[in-house]
């Protein structure tokens, strides 16, 4: 399947987001709403963005005891969302509770397991007591997620190729940590790739924020990234 672009709507206010979303209507299918905007504006903002014609990826990274996560998914299922994240580190029982709630409340919703955050590397994993390299930890959590029934993962683009060799072929792999060719670093993403590289590696979706949000012409930046994905 072709790799699709998701805009990470990581801005401080809905007022800041509004002109960007207006420019991108008709240019872009997917928008990711994360903790910042959801905490500020809640479910009604999800409905507002979906009402503009975007597919909403709600990135809340749920992580709690199985019953609490199941109930949270149950509460979120009526919203017009297409993807929702939870931490695979919560374990198989937690993921199965989330799946049971999703299948009952919104069969079309894709639950995505977050493996190792792209802000983390081997050194930061050691800080929290994980001695394995990031790639090994991603593989372990990815297998746990798919064995528990999840059909998609969030991972670094650098792990996509070897996950493709280990997981069911229809697993969706959503990859943040994407920087267009020529873009510098300087932020909290440590494991990055260009859009074309991620697509060739096997990503089904890429997540891009600042390279679109911080440019004078978000629509042009979006078209350029989509063209890179198409050419890849």
Of residues 29, 32, 61, 190, which has the active-site annotation? 61
Kindly report the three-state secondary structure assignment for every residue of 67-125. Answer: HHHHHHHHHHCCCCCCEEEEEHHHCHHHHHHHHHHHHHHCCCCEEEEECCCCCCCHHHH
Cα separation values, 61 from 83, 152, 168, Å: 11, 13, 22
Instruction: From 79, 75, 73, select the one nearest 51 (Cα to Cα).
Output: 79
Instruction: From 196, 227, 195, select the one nearest 211 (Cα to Cα).
Output: 195
Confidence tier at 182 by pLDDT (50, 70, 90): low
> 10 Å Cβ neighbour count for 223?
15
DSSP 23-77: HHTTT-SEEEEEHHHHHHH-HHHHHHHHHTTPEEEEEEEE-S-HHHHHHHHHHHT
> The domain at 4-231 falls in which architecture?
Alpha-Beta Barrel (3.20)
Alpha carbon distance 107, 31 (integer Å): 20
Query: Could you report the per-residue pLDDT of 69-83, keeping only the tens digit for each?
Result: 999 999 999 999 999
| Residue 104 appears among annotated catalytic residues | no
Cα separation values, 128 from 17, 123, 211, Å: 35, 9, 30
In 3-state terms, what secondary structure has residue 219? helix
Mean pLDDT for the stretch of residues 92-113: 98
Query: Could you report the per-residue pLDDT of 133-180, keeping only the tens digit for each?
Result: 888 899 999 999 999 999 999 988 888 988 999 999 999 999 998 888
Pairwise pLDDT comparison (231 vs 48), residue with the higher score: 48
Alpha carbon distance 19, 195 (integer Å): 24
> Residue 189 above 60 pLDDT?
no
Confidence tier at 109 by pLDDT (50, 70, 90): very high
> Residue 190 above 60 pLDDT?
no
Mean pLDDT for the stretch of residues 41-46: 98
Query: Could you report the per-residue pLDDT of 44-94, keeping only the tens digit for each?
Result: 999 999 999 999 999 999 999 999 999 999 999 999 999 999 999 999 999
């Amino acid at each position: 399947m072709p790799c699709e672009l998701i805009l990470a709507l990581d801005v401080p206010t809905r007022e800041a987001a509004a002109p960007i979303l207006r420019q991108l209507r008709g240019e872009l299918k997917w928008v990711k709403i994360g903790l910042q905007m959801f905490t500020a504006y809640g479910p009604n903002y999800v409905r507002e963005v979906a009402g503009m014609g975007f597919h909403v990826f709600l990135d809340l990274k749920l992580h709690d005891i199985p019953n609490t996560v199941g109930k949270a998914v149950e509460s979120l299922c009526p919203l017009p969302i297409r993807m929702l994240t939870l931490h695979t580190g919560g374990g198989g029982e937690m993921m199965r509770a989330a799946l049971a709630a999703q299948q009952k409340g919104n069969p079309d919703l894709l639950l995505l397991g977050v493996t190792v955050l792209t802000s983390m590397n081997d050194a930061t994993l050691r800080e929290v007591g994980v001695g394995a390299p990031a790639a090994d930890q991603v593989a372990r959590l990815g297998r746990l997620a798919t064995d528990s029934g999840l059909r998609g993962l969030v991972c670094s683009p650098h792990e996509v190729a070897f996950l493709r060799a280990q997981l069911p072929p229809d697993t969706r792999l959503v990859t943040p940590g994407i920087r267009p060719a020529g873009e510098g670093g300087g932020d909290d993403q440590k494991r990055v790739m260009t859009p074309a590289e991620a697509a060739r590696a096997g990503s089904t979706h890429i997540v891009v924020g600042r390279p679109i949000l911080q440019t004078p012409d978000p629509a042009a930046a979006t078209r350029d990234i989509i063209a890179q994905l198409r050419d890849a």
